[in-house]
A and B are shown apart, each in its own frame.
Chain A
Amino acid sequence: MHPAPSVILFSVLSGLGFGFLAFLGWGALTPSGWAAFLLWGLGYGLAVAGLLAATFHLGNPKNALKAFTQWRTSWLSREAWASVATLVLLAPMALSDIFGLGLPRILGQVGGALAILTVFTTAMIYTQIKAVPRWHHWLTPVMFLTFAIAGGAMLSGRTWAPLAMLAVGAVLLAHWRVGDGAFARAGQSLGTATGLDRLGVPSVLDPAHTAGNYLKREMIFVVGRKHAARLRKIALGLASVAPALVLLLPLGLFGIALATVLHLAGALAARWLFFAEAEHVVGLYYGARG
């Protein structure tokens, strides 16, 4: 799949944002005044920036409001609801923290749960796609949730945050390991895509079209094996190992900031790979896989 910056930014930023909002909602931190404003602002900022980035992926954003209509069937619609509900529900909590209104924490706890649910709906947008076997696995939501929770824990300065960061690494490794065999396990080949496995072993002779099209741009992206391996190391190091180590050091806020920057860079790399390494079965028609 084409690793579009809009979707990468969207899923990374909103994942971190909603993860952090969850921790704020749950009261992991109980800041007040300016501090509360800045922290809640960071959470909201990340989440909203992510959502805005996502709209750049839309061809026709003027109809965006219609995306709330199909929550019964569509994970994307559910995500729209969940994210808005989260943002709306947590707003009083944030105001309460900032202005010391003393609203009950239960509001934040529900909002925090919704934030996690939002991340889950985001993950399900990808997980549900059977045509992309690498995504179509329960580890995908686990990975998204792990990122969100670890990110939230990091930003909210949980002592177990280094462990969470290591969990991110473990889940990433697992997702890669499972994902690398997913396409083969899905059992689809040019033979099944065309039904020509009845005759023998098909391969592409002439391209259907030599010019580009949406499918080739959007869904057929080939990343070099060496390049991917190198990027995986970087992603693992930056998203998981490095922030875990930094968080173990007694650096205080600076440590959190440094860990966040490292983690974000790693998450972006990991998410780039999440798209770039994901093969859509439509690529079979174009000879992207034997």
Chain B
Amino acid sequence: MTALPQTTQKKLGLVIDLDTCVGCQACVTACKGWNDAGIGLSDHDPYGAEPHGTFLNRVHSYQVVVEGAPAQVVTFPRSCLHCDNAPCVTVCPTGASYKRAEDGIVLVNEDACIGCGLCAWACPYGAREMDAAQGVMKKCTLCVDRIYNETLPEEDREPACVRTCPTNARHFGDLADPGSAVSRLVAERGGYDLMPDMGTKPTNKYLPPRRKGPGDASPLAPLLDIRASGIAGWLDRMLGKL
């Protein structure tokens, strides 16, 4: 089972638009809520001095010092990238960690997980968090219990993080299909992989922030030399237009 499938029929994944993400954390708690109700994500010492809990999606906030321009701030959601060449799968001794042949989703079969943590070590992206209460590894399931869930209205069959995102910075779809909306976004906006040198071949892609800076409107030309003509001259010129 921990062998990776040769190919997957689909590559379901997320495209995250860093030009649009405002860092509101909505996806973080929507994910937490949905998966807490499903697979259970515990919180330890929730009202105490050192709370810590399991979350499958985290949003970071970075500042970027840019050459010759003001520094920027980029908020950055981070969750499982459902890699084609997922190192978290092959290291698993029990087969609990696996990648689905039909859609490429990387999952943990909790019934087989021994909680050794090796998969989390193998993942460069910090996509996995061990649940302290259950002792098994948790990770983004791409809401596999939503996207195929016929008890939900069809329009709701998308990951909770995507459904809730107020700015629509998160897109869900099949990245194996070059004609899909997500694939087109990646092509148009230069979607990229995180740490490509790690050889993981992530499915999820990130869209870079667009170029920032002043616009290119041509400077306004004064109507006339107001100091010379006075306000009266300005009024004549201006209202003569009417």
Contact = CB atoms under 8 A, between A and B. Distances in A.
Interface of A: 1, 57-61, 63-64, 66-70, 72-77, 80, 125, 128-132, 186-188, 190, 192-196, 198-209, 211-215, 217-219, 280-282, 285-286
Contact of B61 (A80, A206, A282): A206
A207 to B, nearest CB: 8
A1 B121 CA distance: 9
Interface in B32-91: 50-55, 58-67, 71-74, 76, 78, 87, 89-91
Interface in B157-198: 192-198
B5 interface: no
14 contacts: A60-B113, A60-B135, A61-B114, A61-B115, A67-B94, A70-B2, A70-B92, A129-B91, A195-B206, A199-B74, A200-B72, A218-B120, A281-B124, A285-B78
A209 to B, nearest CB: 6
Contact of A131 (B117, B124, B137): B124
B93 A196 contact: no
Highest count of chain B CB atoms <10 Å: which of A1, A194, A202, A208:
A208
A202 B95 contact: no
A208 B78 contact: yes
B3 A72 contact: yes
A80 to B, nearest CB: 6
Contact of A219 (B50, B120, B208): B120
Contacts of A60: 113-115, 134-136
Contact of A128 (B91, B114, B129, B132): B91
A124 to B, nearest CB: 10
B148 interface: no
Contact of A218 (B3, B51, B117): B117
Contacts of A188: 124, 195, 197-198
A131 B87 contact: yes
A69 B194 contact: no
A213 B129 contact: yes
A199 B66 CA distance: 6
Across the A-B interface, the 4 shortest Cβ-Cβ residue pairs? A59-B115, A59-B135, A282-B126, A212-B52
B96 interface: yes
Interface of B: 1-3, 50-55, 58-67, 71-74, 76, 78, 87, 89-96, 111-118, 120-126, 128-132, 134-137, 192-199, 206, 208-209
B118 A196 contact: no
A199 B61 contact: no
Given A219-B121, A281-B124, A201 B64 contact: yes
Contacts of B72: 199-200
Contacts of A57: 116-117
Given A59-B135, A63-B113, A281 B63 contact: no
A69 to B, nearest CB: 5
Contacts of B65: 200-203
A211 B74 CA distance: 21
Contacts of B130: 59, 214, 218
Contacts of B1: 69-70
B132 A67 contact: no
B120 A215 contact: yes
Nearest to A206: B61
Given A199-B208, A219-B121, A282-B124, A204 B60 contact: yes
Contact of A200 (B55, B67, B131): B67
Contact of B122 (A129, A204, A206, A211): A129
Contacts of A68: 93
Contact of B54 (A76, A125, A207, A213): A213
Contacts of A61: 114-115
B51 A80 contact: no
B5 to A, nearest CB: 12
Contacts of A212: 50-52
